[in-house]
Structure 1
Amino acid sequence: MKFPEGFVWGAASSGPQSEGNFNKIHQNVFDYWYATEPGEFFQGVGPDLTSNFYNDYPNDLQLMKKAGIKALRLSIQWSRLIQDFETGTVNQAGADFYRRLFATMKATGIEPYVTLFHFDMPADLQHQYGGWQSKHVVSLFEKYAKEAFKLYGNQINHWFTFNEPKVILDGQYLYQFHYPKIVDGPSAVQVAFNINLASAKAIAAFHQINTNVGATIGMILNLTPAYAASEKPCDKEAARIAELWTNDLFLQPAIRGTFPSSLVDLLKSDHVLWNATGAELDLIANNQIDELGVNYYHPFRVEAPDVSPKSLQDWMPDIYFKEYQMPGRIENVDRGWEIYPKALYDIAISIKERFGNIPWFVSENGMGVSREDRFMDDYGMVHDDYRIDFMHDHLVELFRGIKAGSNCHGYFAWTAIDNWSWKNAYRNRYGLIRNNIHTQEKTLKKSAYWFNQLSHQNILPPTNFKLP
């Protein structure tokens, strides 16, 4: 299976999961949450050090190069770059760090793909204004984005406004796995609109400021088709609504500039539709993404809810659908996620047929397991054949989608080096490169050698890959 010429082989990470808090002048919400409730985090491990990328990046990038990583998706931390959120004044130390980092990446031969927001709302803005519930924060994000474009426009060819906005809704405003752990369905609806608005404002600013010919701006969405548990009409209706909420709520505004009319009608009939002005809707309509990043890990299977949505209950999106666990599924038991590679083919075809075949790439895909040391040999090498199998099987389906005409131009593994994963900390390891978090010694896993061959030959290696 030979991938198209110029296909990009990369890896993904984020600032708050890799840099550590060195020389940061503001806390983000995870810094604050760990400072106030450290017991919420696996084994009490917080974001202070993470993978020490702030200090180790020259050596880390050399290791990534040995793993065949030719592009790295990472993020700027709002709380590191900006000194004064209200004015958008830059913190010079933070600005200098990212400039050095991007220059070193280029010198190493690793192309930066830069995301502006990766779950890391500054804690001050969360506490003072309610974070993404506030349109004032949307305006402050626009100021931050403008400064980033001015500072690094000559270094960066690929920009992205947000990473996985649906996780912001789920974690912070619906299901309590990210701070501030609010359960408020109507607020989540408003947050969804405000994030779409913030993305559009950043895109407008990019086109106003950017002078780097050929540079693009996009959005990173975690996508999966909503699969009905059966052919029953009630299950298929649950899947239809789940698709609207889970995927199209961000996908359609980003690509078409409009919200799904049937979702708008549903939210309006439930009296939970967002507050929006005509000018804001026009802004979204006139500022679409150039390329799409797709994060995919597991399928989303749904069935009809046990209780009718007409029942007297607080509004939540899942009054219309219930998550369904497929009997006999193959599962990453450590994470509780079904492994279903075919969804990547279905995503490829959906983008082609429903969204104008926009240029896109797989911006995250990977498998993390617990207690990975159990697969280490006497020489310290982690033999992560399960990760090789996972990537191989997903790439087979992606290849099928490309052959069917889907406009996919890259695949980024999650992640390059084992990194800190929010409240799960280092419970599950996802890296092609192992990180001993006690010594910060970093070594290539077997999957890194497999990925290196894949990257340099542009041909899918077999799963029974032999180390050189």
Structure 2
Amino acid sequence: MYKQTYPKSFPKGFLWGGATAANQVEGAWNVDGKGLSTAEVVQKVDDRHQVSMGDVTQETLDIAIADKTDTRYPKRRGVDFYHHYKEDIALFAEMGFKVYRFSIAWSRIFPQGEDQTPNEAGLVFYDHVLEELAKYDMVPLVTLSHYEMPIALTQKYNGWAGRETIAAFNKFTETVFNRYRGKVPYWLTFNEINTGTWGFHETGAIDKGLSEKEQLQIRYQALHHQFVASAIATKQLHRIDASAQIGSMLARMQTYPATPNPEDVRAAQLEDEKNLFFTDVQARGEYPEYMNRFFKENDVVIHMAESDQDILLENPVDFISFSYYMTNVTQHDQDGDSVGNMVIGGRNPYLKESDWGWQIDPVGLRITLNAMWDRYRKPLFIVENGLGALDKLEDNQVHDQYRIDYLRSHIEQMKEAIMDGVNLLGYTMWGPIDLISFSTSEMSKRYGFIYIDQDDDGNGTLNRIKKDSFAWYQKVIASNGEDLG
């Protein structure tokens, strides 16, 4: 007989934790044989309402490669996790983390992207990180490519625009799968893969100065190569470590229609399709039909090898992960304004916003979870969510009640989604320690439970200081999400 029951709380074994990226925390950009990465040639911006992630031309690339300092390139210094990882992981353990999401810097393992043999010093560093996590029974969730790749592959193949990069990436993935077999139960392929439609930071391909149609062609072709590489990595992992799982990762931006006008509703649907296209390919194993019209109308031709479609179909991901920071509003007859410094769309009058103009929509997270569970019926994992804010350090304390309020409201909606029937594996908030901003390369945009004494110019002691939110998240984890007070 059918039982009308539903979960009332977070499941036992729910994975609470936090997430970072190598290029935003590690530093040590020229230590122990590491090569230069695409993240380390993007300059910091002066206006926090702009972004610098794709502003790379051949000229600026040459300047960056010639510059042997980190003055204009803060991602080169990060927050020195490379030398502080034991201290930082101990603080995560004190909060009670069940899982820690981090990325492996490809250029630390294969400095030139296609080296004959991997850099042993780089592999040893991640050996030590995994050993430290194991000491605290903390599950590693490892991202294989988080907005960086060896710059040598940009110089040689124009990054992912060249099909040759597939083989280079899958040599890297096979190397780390074998090295860390039995130690990493969860892997992710490409971080926020859909943002590759914005350019260089994800694709490693220089396309500045080209027409919009030429850019679209390069970007979607590069993304196709990533789809194939992701499917091959999935096949590799299932062969090398059958107990491990691998997932896709999407920057999820739920789109609302500005009005009930059916044309606005259709406009919102189109925006969501362009967003969900990426998980459609990686979770279902094939290109969705609706993209055929988009490609035709924008003169995009995806060049595929004969075996590509079979590789995609035979190797879908095991679970779907995504970041969630905001929702978007659109209507059929307007291009929209910039919402914050990341998204183009209309502003929602019902929502508040962060210091960076990102609109805060906790209920949108519940909507997103339900929609994605209904669409894919695969386990979901929220691997980024958090509030970037201008924290103030006073008397060695940071009173960040605004961050507690933000996270509480989103966790409440996660619980509602679980009660709705969504299969949610875990939650890794972004980022548990303050780090270099992805979009602007500044330090002032702080997310963490742990304040790091470093300013936008790299000055400071690098001391780690617990914020008020540290004790709050500790309580949330200890109660498995029941005590949010």
TM (normalized to structure 1)?
0.88
What secondary structure is seen at the aligned counterpart in 2 of 1:335?
Answer: coil
- The one-letter amino acid paired with 2:300 is V
Alignment match of 2:37 (pick from 28, 33, 43): 28
Is 1:4 the counterpart of 2:3? The answer is no
Decide whether aligned partners of structure 1 residues 138 and 305 sit closer, same or farther in structure 2, where only a CA change above 3 A counts: farther
Contact 1:11 1:413 in 2 (8 A): yes
- The one-letter amino acid paired with 1:132 is W
Is 1:397 the counterpart of 2:418? The answer is no
Contact 1:302 1:322 in 2 (8 A): no
Range with bigger deviation, 251-260 or 72-81: 251-260
Which residue does 1:186 correspond to in 2? 217
Which residue does 1:382 correspond to in 2? 398
Alignment match of 1:418 (pick from 423, 428, 434): 434
Q: 1:168 and 1:381 mapped to 2: Cα distance?
A: 38
> Any residues of structure 2 matched to 1:194-209 within 5 Å, and which?
194-209=225-240
**Offset at residue 44 of structure 1 (A):** 4.2
What secondary structure is seen at the aligned counterpart in 1 of 2:250?
Answer: strand
Q: 1:322 and 1:27 mapped to 2: Cα distance?
A: 31
Decide whether aligned partners of structure 1 residues 242 and 170 sit closer, same or farther in structure 2, where only a CA change above 3 A counts: same
Which residue does 1:125 correspond to in 2? 153
Q: 2:11 and 2:482 mapped to 1: Cα distance?
A: 12
Which residue does 1:17 correspond to in 2? 24
**Offset at residue 228 of structure 1 (A):** 1.3
Decide whether aligned partners of structure 1 residues 403 and 68 sit closer, same or farther in structure 2, where only a CA change above 3 A counts: same
Q: 1:340 and 1:43 mapped to 2: Cα distance?
A: 36
**Offset at residue 398 of structure 1 (A):** 1.0
Decide whether aligned partners of structure 1 residues 83 and 337 sit closer, same or farther in structure 2, where only a CA change above 3 A counts: closer
| 1:225-259 Cα shifts (integer Å, max 9, x gaps) | 2211112232222212211112x221111111112
Q: 2:444 and 2:197 mapped to 1: Cα distance?
A: 23
| 1:6-65 Cα shifts (integer Å, max 9, x gaps) | 1111100011111112324310012233483699xx994612321111111111111111
- The one-letter amino acid paired with 2:482 is L
Is 1:239 the counterpart of 2:246? The answer is no
Contact 2:476 2:484 in 1 (8 A): no
What secondary structure is seen at the aligned counterpart in 1 of 2:76?
Answer: coil
Alignment match of 1:434 (pick from 443, 451, 470): 451
What secondary structure is seen at the aligned counterpart in 1 of 2:172?
Answer: helix
- The one-letter amino acid paired with 1:31 is E
Alignment match of 1:280 (pick from 301, 304, 308): 308
- The one-letter amino acid paired with 1:131 is G
Is 1:365 the counterpart of 2:365? The answer is no
Q: 2:299 and 2:78 mapped to 1: Cα distance?
A: 43
Contact 1:367 1:390 in 2 (8 A): yes
**Offset at residue 84 of structure 1 (A):** 5.1
Alignment match of 2:375 (pick from 354, 364, 367): 354
| 1:96-122 Cα shifts (integer Å, max 9, x gaps) | 111111111111232211110001021
Range with bigger deviation, 427-436 or 230-239: 230-239
Decide whether aligned partners of structure 1 residues 301 and 94 sit closer, same or farther in structure 2, where only a CA change above 3 A counts: same
- The one-letter amino acid paired with 2:240 is I
Which residue does 1:315 correspond to in 2? none
Alignment match of 1:74 (pick from 91, 102, 105): 102
Decide whether aligned partners of structure 1 residues 181 and 336 sit closer, same or farther in structure 2, where only a CA change above 3 A counts: farther
**Offset at residue 459 of structure 1 (A):** 3.1
Q: 1:137 and 1:11 mapped to 2: Cα distance?
A: 30
Q: 1:206 and 1:188 mapped to 2: Cα distance?
A: 27
Q: 1:86 and 1:37 mapped to 2: Cα distance?
A: 21
Structure 2 gap ranges (5+): 1-7, 44-60, 336-342, 455-459
Contact 2:111 2:150 in 1 (8 A): no
Range with bigger deviation, 419-428 or 65-74: 419-428
- The one-letter amino acid paired with 1:362 is I
> Any residues of structure 2 matched to 1:37-436 within 5 Å, and which?
44=72, 46-83=74-111, 85-86=113-114, 89-172=117-200, 180=206, 182=208, 184-210=215-241, 213-246=242-275, 248-306=276-334, 323-332=345-354, 334-356=355-377, 358-370=378-390, 372-373=391-392, 376-378=393-395, 380-422=396-438, 423-436=440-453
Range with bigger deviation, 346-355 or 281-290: 346-355
- The one-letter amino acid paired with 1:382 is V
What secondary structure is seen at the aligned counterpart in 1 of 2:42?
Answer: helix
Q: 1:407 and 1:139 mapped to 2: Cα distance?
A: 34
Contact 2:39 2:201 in 1 (8 A): no
Range with bigger deviation, 123-132 or 185-194: 185-194
| 1:145-187 Cα shifts (integer Å, max 9, x gaps) | 111111111211111111101223224289x9x9846361222
| 1:375-396 Cα shifts (integer Å, max 9, x gaps) | x442x12111111111111111
What secondary structure is seen at the aligned counterpart in 1 of 2:74?
Answer: coil
| 1:281-327 Cα shifts (integer Å, max 9, x gaps) | 110111111112121000022222448xxxxxxxxxxxxx9611123
What secondary structure is seen at the aligned counterpart in 1 of 2:279?
Answer: helix
- The one-letter amino acid paired with 2:416 is R
Decide whether aligned partners of structure 1 residues 427 and 167 sit closer, same or farther in structure 2, where only a CA change above 3 A counts: farther
Which residue does 1:318 correspond to in 2? none
Which residue does 1:466 correspond to in 2? none
Structure 1 gap ranges (5+): 308-320, 464-468
Q: 1:154 and 1:121 mapped to 2: Cα distance?
A: 25
Which residue does 1:457 correspond to in 2? 479
- The one-letter amino acid paired with 1:299 is T
What secondary structure is seen at the aligned counterpart in 2 of 1:387?
Answer: helix
* Aligned Cα root-mean-square deviation (Å): 2.5
Structure 1 segments, 4+ long, off by >6 Å, are none
Q: 2:288 and 2:129 mapped to 1: Cα distance?
A: 40
Which residue does 2:340 correspond to in 1? none
Q: 2:426 and 2:116 mapped to 1: Cα distance?
A: 33
Q: 2:15 and 2:345 mapped to 1: Cα distance?
A: 34
What secondary structure is seen at the aligned counterpart in 1 of 2:182?
Answer: coil
Contact 2:42 2:73 in 1 (8 A): no
**Offset at residue 271 of structure 1 (A):** 2.4
Decide whether aligned partners of structure 1 residues 275 and 196 sit closer, same or farther in structure 2, where only a CA change above 3 A counts: same
